[in-house]
Amino acid sequence: MKPVRKDRWASYVHVSGDGVHTFLQEHVKTRDGNNKSCLIVGKGFDPRMLGGATALTAVLDPRQLSIIVLVFDEGPTSPSRKYDKLVQQNIDTLMRMVPSEQVRERTIKMFSSEGRRVTSRSAESVFRSADEFSGFSDIFVDVSSLPRSVYFPVVAKLLHLLDGVKDGAAPNLFVMVSESAELDRRIVEEGIDEDADYIHPFRGAVERESAAGRPKVWFPLLGENQSVQLARIYDLINPAEICPLLPSPSMDPRRGDNLVLEYRELLFDRLRVETRNFIYASETNAFEAYRQLRRAILHYAEALEPLGGSNAVISANSSKLLSVGALLAAYELKCDGADIAIAHIEAHGYMLTDSEDDLDRLASESRLQCLWLSGGCYA
């Protein structure tokens, strides 16, 4: 492993709730009046896909906002197809927010011709050059209605492209996410894939025969109702050591305990995890998750160096906010030459467990988070 530089997001900008509006207002004031913003959202039935657009159109002239809608087709038999009407409603609302010519779609292929998952590779190639963003001073990625297999490679690729801009005129990159525990509880994955896989471009060295002797250390970010997913990710990795990350502190002070209870059998009886291996990070702070993961991964790499090093694998079956922290840790370590992988398992689609009637109400109660990942404030 190469020498690791200072953690990039030791200081960071993260605003949430009402603070997002104030922050965006202030931010818009600081820039040239001719500058434009680009918002990237996912086309989905979750009304939270509109959260970022609503916040931005409240502070920006709609003519200054371009929207790229990422379209991912889960196939004709996906359970999500039941909600095509809701998807169209969301798109219609979006089209009313900005002039229609400023909304463009980009398609992400989810399956190969023979039905194999190709989502993350396809998502990574949606943006190929930083030139695609010339004329934009800010790029916002609203990950609220994007699956991890899409927003992980998209955000990583954007960071990579913007990091490669040499003349210092790179746009700012923000990630937005609307968090609602109730909506998350209602939207469940269905038809989980038989096998987990690594997200492109985070395969690390775990699959290499030349690195087979190195112990694999798995850092699963725990969230509710993920036992099948965790078991299958475990089967993929077959780690020597497991360090679960619990969301603690959290709004519900018992959440961490409840998660341990939920996965008691899997973690302790089947996988025999050591209790001292648990890592904790605030459920509302992605950057803390980033810091904790980064520190733990580097610690293992150093401790296992005499054995030839280690292969770290992260999986983020947690809230989207915390998963952004996992992505930042993986991206930074990958850039520094570390062997880091992100394991993930996809589902055939999503289902609502309850009625769809009060989705809009729940979405309006969700809390918008905005994370500034690269650009002016880190210069």
Residue of 144, 132, 115, 113 whose CA lies nearest to 49 = 144
246 three-class SS: strand
Query: Judged by CB under 8 A, which stretch of 61-69, 132-140, 271-279, 285-293 contacts another protein?
Result: 271-279
Beta-carbon count within 10 A of 288 CB: 18
- Asked if 240 interacts with another protein (CB under 8 A), we say yes
- Asked if 353 interacts with another protein (CB under 8 A), we say no
- Which residue, 161 or 322, is less far from another protein as judged by CB? 161
Q: How far apart are the first and last CA of the chain?
A: 26
- Which residue, 195 or 305, is less far from another protein as judged by CB? 195
Distances in Å between the Cα of 115 and the Cα atoms of 70, 74, 76, 171 are 20, 11, 12, 37
Beta-bridge partner residues of 372: 13, 174
Q: Give the gyration radius of the chain's Cα atoms.
A: 20
Q: Which of 26, 61, 252, 274 binds another protein (CB under 8 A)?
A: 274
Q: How far is the CB of 165 from another protein (least distance, A)?
A: 14
Find tokens 């603690």 and name the residue.
Answer: 248
Whole-angstrom distance, CA of residue 135 vs CA of residue 130? 11
- Asked if 216 interacts with another protein (CB under 8 A), we say no
- Asked if 191 interacts with another protein (CB under 8 A), we say yes
- Asked if 92 interacts with another protein (CB under 8 A), we say no
- Asked if 236 interacts with another protein (CB under 8 A), we say yes
Q: Which of 6, 104, 116, 166 binds another protein (CB under 8 A)?
A: 116
What would the x/- binding string for another protein be over residues 145 to 164, using CB under 8 A?
-----------xx--xx---
Whole-angstrom distance, CA of residue 143 vs CA of residue 42? 7
**Distance of alpha carbon 297 from the chain centroid:** 19
- Asked if 138 interacts with another protein (CB under 8 A), we say no
Residues that bind another protein (CB under 8 A): 77, 79, 112, 114, 116, 118, 121, 124-125, 128, 156-157, 160-161, 189-195, 198, 200-205, 207-210, 212-213, 228, 231, 234-236, 238, 240, 265, 268-274, 347-348
